[in-house]
């Protein structure tokens, strides 16, 4: 037992001794009975957590169980008599993945198999003996990697988590001295010791989870209570420079960068699992913390998931990891993944939300609907709307047929990171990347073959990732006018792009069945005369490609068009409509690359079929511009009809003002980069300060107005609509940058 636990028990004993009168032996007996009952109740709670933990990671479907048993038998058969495996390198490693941990991955599979056999009433003594030998081999050698400093994660988090889970599954079958050896290894997951970066955000949750499991293994409530207490303390709203849940329910880690789909997804998965394990015990999460955590899942993570992926704009450097998904599907004949990377289905947000949906929380119905979507249940209710994550320069727009997003950067937000060799090509991932998902499969594992100067939505120098900046990856932006305005249903995002000598004003306008992208003032002052392009979409090629010029499906290859009139392109149920004068290039066919070009993945050449559509601005453009409309979930016939009459009017596309009007919605969305007046079909709109603005007629008369300050500063904004003036006090403090919506009559 750790020294801290001994001290807690000693303090309790001394306190009990001091408060019990020595002249009342009957009372003393009563107190001891109460104490024993309390101890029994605490141990019963630990047993509940141990059992729930075990059940949560075991497959329940017959094919999954059968395949797990097959894999467990295979590992057991190849295990040597001393408990090791001949094909595993147990030495140090210079790579971020540590091969020695394959021992623990196999041990986990075998432990799951043995627990399933025992739960079914017919234990496998031979398998359990092999498991005990494998445990003993690891605890006897206590492997730690000292060669690569980056592998602290394995030493302090990965190994304690893996061996702790296996020991939990085998708790009743392991000798006490083996449990003690495992617990000693798990003490390295010490959140109170070491560099602060190792014990904040998701890293902290991993460590306190191991403390909870260690306490369960030792049947000691003290570390379990301490671990849960620290876990719940971390379920809080933090500042934009701190790791954790932000005011807008995005998630930051490693400084002020959005990581909702990386560290933030791990945070959601692990906190959610352990909240579920403790429900109804003395370790249950307090209501105020559950309210925050519920909001993080339902008002944050839920916005970002389509199909079984979480928006790649939120995964950070994990975009370099093959097979990255949020909701792993259970494939009976596929590789078995577990508690550490890659995380298996049992540990993912799909299982987490399903477990939480079973508990009587204030937002249970929302959890149930979220779970139905994650499980892809027929008839699951759609989740639609628009949300600006003002703490992270990020906008999400959801409709039943599609999901799209924009990721930006500013002086407040870093564009990414290069850590442990991951993220080598990530220079442009925050330059207005505009992913579009219908199924969620559109970009799966495309990343090694991508042209990384043509990411969806960005405007960039072509042919080089050298932006002219000292460090094009690990940097804050240099502009302040970057953000969005949203009324919860519709929204727009705008950014001032400045990468080296390249500058541009960019904006996106989101409606129901379409959205508009505008760019203005595109200028490259570099004397080297680099070509510049704006990419519309670069996605996996799926099905035929059609254009308004072609008489049938296009063959693979590269084509360039100078549009004499309005034109459209169609691919994979999406239409792209361009005005007269667009200089377009379209590529459809094979592209190749290697995962090692991005990180530490496999080095063999990967080739995939890719669709890429971009606008050519020429060499060293001066004040170039673009505009296009995207029509997701459409047929070729519908695209041709919409191209003839889009119902969307571009009111302005200059460096000072970008605006679009929807005829059907009677909605104006505008980016004012300085005070000015905009002529609209609703009448003149005037503002006295730079802002983002949405205006439409209100039901019952007057105007519905939504406004924000994308510089994330408080602002008193004066607006005039068709001669009627009013004042809007835009949010301040940590809400600065968010939207104020009001009706003015």
Rounded-to-integer distance, Cα 491 and Cα 642, Å: 21
Number of domains in the chain: 1
Rounded-to-integer distance, Cα 52 and Cα 44, Å: 12
- 720, with CB counted inside 10 A (0-12, 13-18, 19+), is middle
**Does residue 515 carry a pLDDT above 70?**
yes
- CATH number for the domain spanning 548: value is 2.70.98.10
Q: Do residues 533 and 617 lie in contact, with contact meaning Cβ atoms separated by under 8 Å? A: yes
**Does residue 429 lie within any of the structural domains?**
yes
Instruction: Give the sheet arrangement for strand 648-653, strand by strand.
Output: 648-653, 657-662, 667-672, 691-697, 703-708, 740-744
**Does residue 563 lie within any of the structural domains?**
yes
Per-residue pLDDT tens digits for 575-589: 999 998 899 999 999
Per-residue pLDDT tens digits for 246-273: 999 999 999 999 999 999 999 999 999 9
Rounded-to-integer distance, Cα 366 and Cα 361, Å: 10
**Does residue 549 lie within any of the structural domains?**
yes
Q: Phi and psi for 686 in degrees, rounded to 5?
A: -125, 140
Q: Do residues 232 and 286 lie in contact, with contact meaning Cβ atoms separated by under 8 Å? A: yes
**Does residue 31 carry a pLDDT above 80?**
no
Res 130: pLDDT = 98
**Does residue 455 lie within any of the structural domains?**
yes
Rounded-to-integer distance, Cα 469 and Cα 438, Å: 35
Flag the least confident range among 20-29, 42-51, 545-554, 661-670.
Answer: 20-29
Strand partners, 592: 607
**Does residue 56 carry a pLDDT above 90?**
yes
Residue 733, CA distances (Å) to 216, 248, 478, 736 in order: 43, 13, 21, 5
**Does residue 367 lie within any of the structural domains?**
no
Flag the least confident range among 162-166, 286-290, 344-348, 370-374.
Answer: 344-348
Res 517: pLDDT = 98
* pLDDT confidence band for 550 (50 / 70 / 90): confident
Nearest to 57 by CA among 213, 284, 191: 213
Half-sphere exposure of 132 (CA within 13 A, CB side): 14
Rounded-to-integer distance, Cα 501 and Cα 40, Å: 69
Strand partners, 73: none
Strand partners, 388: 395
Which residues constitute the domain of residue 397? 385-648
What's the mean pLDDT in 167-187?
96
Taking CB atoms within 8 Å and a gap of at least 24, the contacts of 83-91 are 83/130, 83/132, 83/133, 83/134, 83/135, 83/136, 83/137, 83/138, 84/134, 84/137, 90/141, 90/143
Residue 559: both structure tokens together: 């084509």
Res 30: pLDDT = 60
**Does residue 309 lie within any of the structural domains?**
no
**Does residue 678 lie within any of the structural domains?**
no
Rounded-to-integer distance, Cα 174 and Cα 216, Å: 14
What average pLDDT does the structure give for the chain? 91
**Does residue 3 carry a pLDDT above 50?**
no
Q: Spell out the residues 6+ positions from residue 550 whose beta carbon is closer than 8 angstroms to its own.
A: none
Residue 183: both structure tokens together: 């617990």
Per-residue pLDDT tens digits for 427-446: 999 999 999 999 999 999 99
Query: Helix, strand, or coil here: 536?
Result: strand
Rounded-to-integer distance, Cα 179 and Cα 84, Å: 19
Q: Do residues 330 and 375 lie in contact, with contact meaning Cβ atoms separated by under 8 Å? A: no
Element housing 522 (H / E): strand 515-524
Q: Do residues 695 and 715 lie in contact, with contact meaning Cβ atoms separated by under 8 Å? A: no
- Percent pLDDT > 90 in the chain is 81
* pLDDT confidence band for 528 (50 / 70 / 90): confident
Res 8: pLDDT = 37
My answer on whether omega of the bond before 563 falls inside 30° of 0, hence cis, is no
Q: Spell out the residues 6+ positions from residue 5 whose beta carbon is closer than 8 angstroms to its own.
A: 220, 222, 223
Please state the length of the chain. 745
Rounded-to-integer distance, Cα 80 and Cα 90, Å: 14
Three-state DSSP string of 253-286: CCCCCECCCCHHHHHHHHHHHHHHHHCCCCCCCC
364-374 and 287-298 helices, crossing angle to 10°:
40
Flag the least confident range among 80-89, 96-105, 337-346.
Answer: 337-346
Res 341: pLDDT = 59
Rounded-to-integer distance, Cα 704 and Cα 336, Å: 53
Nearest to 138 by CA among 209, 79, 218, 94: 79
Res 337: pLDDT = 66
Q: Phi and psi for 476 in degrees, rounded to 5?
A: -75, 155
Flag the least confident range among 99-103, 274-278, 404-408, 606-610.
Answer: 99-103
Q: Spell out the residues 6+ positions from residue 581 whose beta carbon is closer than 8 angstroms to its own.
A: 562, 563, 564
**Does residue 290 lie within any of the structural domains?**
no
Per-residue pLDDT tens digits for 278-313: 999 999 999 999 999 999 999 999 999 999 999 999
Tell me whether strands 482-486 and 740-744 are parallel, antiparallel or unpaired. unpaired
Per-residue pLDDT tens digits for 698-708: 999 999 999 99
Q: Do residues 482 and 470 lie in contact, with contact meaning Cβ atoms separated by under 8 Å? A: no
Flag the least confident range among 127-141, 144-158, 459-473, 712-726.
Answer: 144-158
Radius of gyration, alpha carbons of the chain:
29
Residue 200, CA distances (Å) to 211, 270, 412 in order: 15, 14, 20
* pLDDT confidence band for 24 (50 / 70 / 90): very low
Predicted TM-score (pTM) of this structure: 0.91
Rounded-to-integer distance, Cα 258 and Cα 377, Å: 30
Res 561: pLDDT = 87
Res 330: pLDDT = 63
Element housing 713 (H / E): none
Q: Do residues 268 and 356 lie in contact, with contact meaning Cβ atoms separated by under 8 Å? A: no
Q: Do residues 432 and 426 lie in contact, with contact meaning Cβ atoms separated by under 8 Å? A: no
């Amino acid at each position: 037992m750790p020294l801290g636990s001994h001290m807690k028990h000693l303090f309790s004993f001394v306190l009990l001794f001091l408060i019990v009168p020595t002249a009342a032996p009957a009372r003393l007996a009563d107190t001891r009975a109460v104490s024993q009952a309390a101890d029994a109740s605490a141990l019963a709670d630990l047993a509940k957590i141990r059992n729930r933990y075990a059940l949560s990671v075991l497959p329940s479907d017959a094919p999954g169980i059968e395949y797990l048993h097959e894999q467990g038998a295979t590992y057991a058969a190849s295990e040597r008599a001393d408990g090791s495996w001949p094909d595993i390198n147990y030495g140090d490693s210079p790579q971020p993945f540590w091969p020695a941990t394959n021992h623990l991955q196999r041990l986990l599979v075998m432990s799951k198999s043995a627990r399933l056999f025992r739960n079914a009433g017919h234990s496998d003594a031979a398998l359990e003996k092999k498991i005990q030998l494998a445990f003993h081999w690891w605890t006897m050698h206590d492997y730690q990697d000292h060669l690569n400093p980056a592998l602290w994660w394995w030493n302090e988090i990965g190994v304690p988590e893996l061996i702790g889970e296996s020991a939990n599954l085998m708790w009743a079958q392991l000798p006490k001295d083996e449990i003690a050896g495992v617990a000693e290894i798990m003490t390295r997951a010490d959140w109170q010791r070491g560099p602060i970066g190792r014990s904040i955000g998701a890293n902290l949750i991993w460590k306190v989870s191991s403390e909870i499991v260690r306490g369960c293994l030792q049947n000691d409530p003290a570390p379990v209570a301490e671990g849960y207490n620290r876990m719940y303390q971390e379920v809080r709203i933090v500042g934009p420079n701190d790791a954790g849940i932000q005011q807008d329910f995005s998630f930051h880690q490693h400084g002020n960068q959005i990581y909702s789909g990386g560290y933030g997804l791990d945070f959601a998965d692990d906190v959610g699992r352990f909240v579920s394990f403790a429900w109804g015990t003395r370790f249950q999460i307090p209501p105020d913390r559950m309210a925050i955590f519920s909001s993080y899942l339902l008002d944050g993570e839920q916005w970002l998931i389509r199909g079984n992926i979480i928006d790649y704009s939120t995964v950070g450097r994990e975009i370099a990891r093959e097979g990255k998904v949020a909701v792993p599907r259970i494939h009976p004949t596929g590789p078995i993944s577990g508690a550490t990377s890659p995380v298996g289905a049992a540990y993912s947000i799909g299982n987490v939300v399903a477990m939480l949906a079973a508990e009587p929380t204030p937002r249970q119905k929302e959890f149930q609907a979220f779970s139905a979507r994650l499980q892809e249940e027929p008839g699951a209710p759609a989740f639609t709307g628009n949300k600006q994550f003002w703490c992270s320069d990020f906008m999400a727009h959801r409709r039943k047929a599609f999901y799209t997003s924009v990721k930006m950067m500013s002086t407040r937000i870093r564009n990414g990171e290069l850590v442990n060799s991951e993220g080598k090509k990530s220079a442009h991932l925050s330059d207005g990347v505009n992913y579009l998902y219908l199924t969620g499969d559109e970009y799966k594992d495309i990343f090694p073959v991508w042209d990384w100067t043509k990411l969806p939505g960005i405007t960039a120098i072509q042919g080089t990732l050298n932006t002219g900046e000292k460090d094009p990856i690990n940097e804050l932006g240099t502009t302040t006018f970057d953000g969005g305005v949203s009324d919860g249903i519709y929204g727009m995002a705008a950014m001032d792009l400045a990468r080296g000598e390249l500058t541009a004003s960019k904006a996106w306008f989101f409606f129901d069945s379409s959205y508009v992208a505008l760019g203005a003032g595109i200028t490259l002052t570099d004397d080297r005369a680099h070509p510049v392009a704006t990419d519309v979409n670069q996605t996996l090629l799926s099905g035929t490609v059609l254009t308004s010029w072609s008489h049938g499906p296009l063959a693979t290859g590269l084509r360039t068009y100078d549009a004499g009139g309005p034109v459209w392109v169609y691919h994979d149920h999406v239409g792209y409509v361009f005005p007269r004068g667009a200089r377009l290039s379209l590529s459809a066919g094979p592209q190749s690359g290697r995962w090692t070009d991005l990180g530490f993945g496999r080095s063999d050449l990967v080739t995939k079929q890719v669709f890429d559509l971009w606008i050519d601005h020429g060499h060293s453009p001066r004040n170039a511009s673009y505009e296009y409309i995207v029509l997701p979930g459409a047929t070729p016939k519908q695209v041709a009809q919409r191209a003839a009459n889009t119902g969307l009017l571009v009111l302005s596309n200059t460096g000072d003002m970008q605006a679009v009007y929807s005829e059907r919605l009677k909605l104006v969305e505008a980016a004012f980069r300085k005070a000015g007046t905009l002529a609209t079909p609703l009448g003149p709109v005037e503002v006295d300060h730079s802002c983002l603005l949405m205006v439409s007629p209100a039901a019952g008369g007057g105007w519905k107005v939504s406004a924000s300050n994308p510089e994330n500063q408080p602002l008193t904004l004066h607006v005039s609509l068709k001669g009627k003036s009013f004042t809007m006090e835009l949010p301040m403090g940590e809400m600065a940058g968010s939207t104020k919506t009001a009706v003015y009559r």
